[in-house]
């Protein structure tokens, strides 16, 4: 049974709407990536060095990242040799299989899930540059937790950017959760202290903390994040339980550079990749995972409140190759 068919069978027994969100959200990347792979397969009758060279180009153009591409193609060559694959059509399924393997390599299942504390306060710290969709992501995540019946609070720790506090308050009103804030220009660590005390007194389940996103002066950013983390850790031992870095998928390799900077500044435990539906270069998911060894925990697949989805490598690959899955089914039926 091909890997495509295994995915199809797996998802037919699971929540169809989530699978469809991945499929719809990856339309641009699929049109860019899968169509090129399709074209490549139709032009080559046999799997040779030239075939792999062109495949490398396609993967690099999809922003999979040079190092990841080299690793992936090397693995493909070994697998093609091991299975004695001659027909280029049979390579497509192996590509999808290897993409999932690369994403999941060296990780246990727990690292992909949020570190939520049972019957205790969970503190989630959000970091990322301005304009990547950080506040929107916080709002959507608050909505997700609230719809699960959790008591959620937001902390307006971005006291630097004009309008950041108000923007978070708009989301708080929309979702129906309170925002702990101070005046613009206040010390973010002081805001976090107040927010943690409020969360404790209200017996909140989740406290989501916003932070400033300036990168112009990395030293200031690091000091501020370190201070914020110290205050949170002092008040809630073991916190923050997650440090989520928000990246804009449409910025491609630039997102990778931002990720490296923030990884130096703070212990990033997971990535939230926004606007994945707006890019034709969705391969950046694999580059981030493979080159930085940080799991992508959520992806933004649209504008709606429930379009922030937990990342799933198999659903992602299914979304990339959905058209080929259908073609395979149609060929079998005929």
pLDDT digit string (tens) for 296-329? 999 999 888 999 999 988 888 888 887 766 665 5
The binding site consists of 128-135, 210-214, 274-277
6: confidence class by pLDDT, cuts 50, 70, 90 = confident
Decide which of 152 and 91 is more confident.
152
**Of 277, 281, 236, nearest to 68 (Cα)?**
281
Q: Is the pLDDT of residue 195 over 90?
A: yes
Look up tokens 């440090």; give the residue.
243
Decide which of 71 and 198 is more confident.
198
Q: What distances in angstroms separate CA 119 from CA 204, 208, 267, 290, one per listed residue?
A: 10, 16, 24, 34
pLDDT digit string (tens) for 254-294? 888 888 888 887 889 999 999 999 998 888 888 888 888 89
Provide the percentage of residues in the chain whose pLDDT is more than 90: 52
pLDDT digit string (tens) for 147-173? 999 999 999 999 988 899 999 999 999
229: confidence class by pLDDT, cuts 50, 70, 90 = very high
Q: Is the pLDDT of residue 331 over 60?
A: no
- Residues near 189 by Cβ (< 8 Å), separated by ≥ 6? 224, 227, 228, 230, 231
Q: Is the pLDDT of residue 112 over 90?
A: no
Cα(318)–Cα(129) distance, integer angstroms: 30
The answer to whether the pTM exceeds 0.85 is yes
Interval 70-94 mean pLDDT? 90
Q: Decide if 239 contacts 120 (C-beta within 8 A).
A: no
**Of 181, 246, 236, 186, nearest to 206 (Cα)?**
236
Q: Is the pLDDT of residue 84 over 70?
A: yes
Q: Which range among 34-43, 102-111, 300-309 shows the weakest confidence by mean pLDDT?
A: 102-111
Q: Is the pLDDT of residue 216 over 70?
A: no
> Nearest 5°: CA angle at 96, between 270 and 29?
70
Interval 24-29 mean pLDDT? 91
Distance of CA 255 to the CA centre of its chain: 11
Interval 221-225 mean pLDDT? 84
Q: Is the pLDDT of residue 212 over 80?
A: yes
Q: Is the pLDDT of residue 2 over 70?
A: no
Helix axes 253-265, 218-235, angle to 10 degrees: 50
Cα(46)–Cα(77) distance, integer angstroms: 13
Q: Decide if 221 contacts 148 (C-beta within 8 A).
A: no
Strand order in the sheet with 122-127: 178-180, 152-155, 206-209, 122-127, 242-248, 270-274, 296-300, 308-310
pLDDT reported for residue 110: 58
The binding site for GTP consists of 128-135, 210-214, 274-277
pLDDT reported for residue 136: 95
Q: Is the pLDDT of residue 111 over 80?
A: no
pLDDT reported for residue 231: 96
SS3 helix, strand, coil % of the chain, rounded to 5? 60, 10, 30
Q: What distances in angstroms separate CA 3 from CA 44, 76, 106, 313, one per listed residue?
A: 21, 14, 21, 13
Mean pLDDT of the residues in the chain = 88
**The three-state (H, E, C) secondary structure of 42-106, written as one string:** HHCCECCHHHHHHHHHHHHHCCCCHHHHHHHHHHHHHHHHHHCCCECHHHHHHHHHHHHHHHHCC
1: confidence class by pLDDT, cuts 50, 70, 90 = low
């Amino acid at each position: 049974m091909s890997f495509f068919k295994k995915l199809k069978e797996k998802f037919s027994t699971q929540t169809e709407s989530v699978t469809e969100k991945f499929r719809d959200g990856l339309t641009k990347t699929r049109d860019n990536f899968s169509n090129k792979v399709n074209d490549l397969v139709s032009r080559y009758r046999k799997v040779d060095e030239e075939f792999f060279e062109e495949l490398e180009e396609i993967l690099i153009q999809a922003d999979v990242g040079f190092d990841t591409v080299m690793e992936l193609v090397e693995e493909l060559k070994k697998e093609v040799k091991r299975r004695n694959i001659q027909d280029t059509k049979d390579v497509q399924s192996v590509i999808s299989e290897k993409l999932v393997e690369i994403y999941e390599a060296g990780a246990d299942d727990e690292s992909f899930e949020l570190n939520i504390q049972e019957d205790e306060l969970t503190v989630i710290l959000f970091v990322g540059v301005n304009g990547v969709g950080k506040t929107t992501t916080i709002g959507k995540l608050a909505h997700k937790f609230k719809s699960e019946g959790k008591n959620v609070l937001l902390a307006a720790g971005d006291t630097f950017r004009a309008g950041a506090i108000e923007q978070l308050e708009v989301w708080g009103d929309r979702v129906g959760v309170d925002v702990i804030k101070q005046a613009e220009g206040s010390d973010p660590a002081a805001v976090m202290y107040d927010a943690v005390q409020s969360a404790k007194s209200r017996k909140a389940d989740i406290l989501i903390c916003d932070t400033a996103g300036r990168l112009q002066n990395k030293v200031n950013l690091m000091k501020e994040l370190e201070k914020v983390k110290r205050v949170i850790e002092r008040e809630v031992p073991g916190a923050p339980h997650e440090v989520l870095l928000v990246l804009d998928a449409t910025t491609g390799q630039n997102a990778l550079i931002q990720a490296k900077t923030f990884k130096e500044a703070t212990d990033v435990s997971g990535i939230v990749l926004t606007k994945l539906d707006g890019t034709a270069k969705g391969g950046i998911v694999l580059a981030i995972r493979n080159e930085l060894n940080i799991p992508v925990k959520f992806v933004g697949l649209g504008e709606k409140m429930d379009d922030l989805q937990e990342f799933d490598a198999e659903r992602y690959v299914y979304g990339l190759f959905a058209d080929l899955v259908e073609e395979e089914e149609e060929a079998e039926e005929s």
